[in-house]
Structure 1
Amino acid sequence: MTKIELNRNSLSGTLPEELGDLSNLQKLRLQSNSLSGTIPSELGELGNLQDLGLYNNSLSGTLPSWIVSISDLQFLGLSKNDFHGTVPSEYSELGNLRQLGLAQNSLSGTLPSEYGELGNLQHLYLHENSLGGTLPSEYGELDNLRNLWLHGNSLSGTLPESIKDLSANKRLENHPYMETPILDYEVVPGESLEFDISGHFSDINDNIASYSAEGLPEGLTIDSSSGAIGGIPTTEGSFLVTVTASDDAGNVVSDEFNIDVRSTPDEAASDEVLNASDYAALLALYHGMNGENWQTKWDISSSTPPKASVVSDWHGVTVEEGRVTKIELIENSLSGTLPSELGNLSNLQVLNLN
């Protein structure tokens, strides 16, 4: 046996130590279940294991140092559990590691400077723990690093100069970047709406020069210098707004959010319109996968997001509180390529296109 993948399968109980007898196992994925207890040390006998995914369970205890005995490990996902203690510096011995996820636990202490030795590391997720101290300058030696997520901790100090110009870095170049996502807004037509988006963006050199927005409801404008959005919306509907921050060199970063303009709060609750971003993703799926040739088609005639109740009647689509939670289009003659817009379905729980 070389692979076990039982993700999202309602598993409960503890991990059996007998898993350590599967000497040829290369991939063990049990994420998004209800597993509890500690990780049995017998898994350290899996000398051929390259992929260990146990995130989004209820595993507890401290992070085991014996994992370093699995020298071929390339993916280690232990995020979103109940681990406590410190981040093991020993994991720096996993020279083949490409992705390390220890986020959303209860880890404390400081960031191990030894992780600067992980030359093959591309993705490091340590966000939403209780880590303190500074960001080690050694992380600037991670030439292949693409994602470094550290938000939701108590780190301090300045960003090391060595980390600003990593050749493969996708997040911390000398460009603007997102500090926090922009939340959706709901407003009644004729009422004033005022908010500031500048706090959601940042820049290593603190030189964001201008802001812009596309898709604002009629009556709302953005101040290009301050990032303040305000006015009195006059047109009802659900509006997908794209805001962009630019620095002096012309580098940009963008984010999307929704503004829902409703007559009354009661009407919004009883006659909910589908989230605009979700509707755009469904349209992209329909057009990108030859929806006209599906066995059971969708009614995509509306140019604006329809009521959630209407989309709930579409074949294979489940909507809860205005957001798409499930897409199940089994044996429906789909063809083509999956659209990137599916990544915007932030509430999606099930995607089944078998």
Structure 2
Amino acid sequence: MALSFNGLASSVPPEIGSMSLLQNLDLNGNQLEGELPATISSLKDLYSLDCSNNKFIGTIPSIGSKKLLSAAFANNSFLGSFPRTFCQIASLALLDLSSNQLSGELPNCGFPSILKKCKQLIVLDIGPIPQGLLANLTSMMKPQTEFNMTSLVHHQVLHLDATMNFVDRIDVNWKMKSYTFQGTIALMIGIDLSGNSFSGEIPTELANLRGLRFLNLSRNHLSGHIPENIGDLKLLESLDCSWNELSGAIPSSISKLASLSTLNLSNNNLSGEIPVGNQLQTLDDPSIYNNNSGLCGFPLVACSKGSSGTVETLDTELETVYFCYSIIAGLVIGFWLWLGSLVFFKTWRTYVFCCVDRFQHKVMKRWRAFR
């Protein structure tokens, strides 16, 4: 049942639960309000449910279908905690709860346990990023050969059919412009965790998701370095880590992303020289590196000789200091070893004193002869 963008108002009648054979329910983009009826739990054959962009309130009702592939509740006013109903839906491939008023703690089956059961999960649009969250998303670890779109940053799924193809329409922000595509679009793989309050470092296990086409971690509180193994995401076309607190140098492995066509690392604390090579040379918009005062190199101002050789110069200076210290330490240790041998070994002490006496006798003898 496709009722999206029809200007529907009022509330959803509870009688909808009597449509026992319903597989797809699309209520996106209307003016529907009130609570979603609890009778939705009676729809046992439901594959796709989209209630996004309405005025729904209250809590998200239980979902009775174990076949659910796609569930979207974005841009409403839903209250309460994370719905426990999703803990048991292993078939779930897309879950969008963004832009609501959910609160409280995650359920006992909570992150990442919820997602460990969802091994078919391919698109996740949802806090630090939970440890182990990404380890079991096996569908993201392999390329999807049917994928036929490029430069994907964000998406909005309206339908998902039983053959795992997105259908009807998809809204895409592609190279800073918005596009709407009609018809069947083959499966896309990506993670959008933007606009949350995630903190801590970006998990290195992210690089295990070799099938990723787009990754959006923008507008969070992520810190630390960009993972060195980011270059393992060979199929990545779009990477957005802007508006975080990332620091350190941009890893050189990012130049291995041969498919990268959209990049945004602005508004962080990154420093050092921007890597060069491959697709990075085509990304000539300086704004993608804005507000990183320590960055230099193409397409920003060239790095000065002093800044580019800072590390090498520092290493040379440290080597010189260590060399001087080692010489001084050797002299001090040698002196105390010699002095200690005179104190503790009588034979050595007697021999040294005899040598000194003989030397003194020769000097005095020659001095008297000279006079």
Q: Give the TM-score taking structure 2 as reference length.
A: 0.47
Kindly indicate which of the two structures has a greater share of residues assigned to strand. Answer: 1
Kindly indicate which of the two structures has a greater share of residues assigned to helix. Answer: 2
Q: Give the TM-score taking structure 1 as reference length.
A: 0.49
**Which structure is larger by alpha-carbon Rg, 1 or 2?**
2
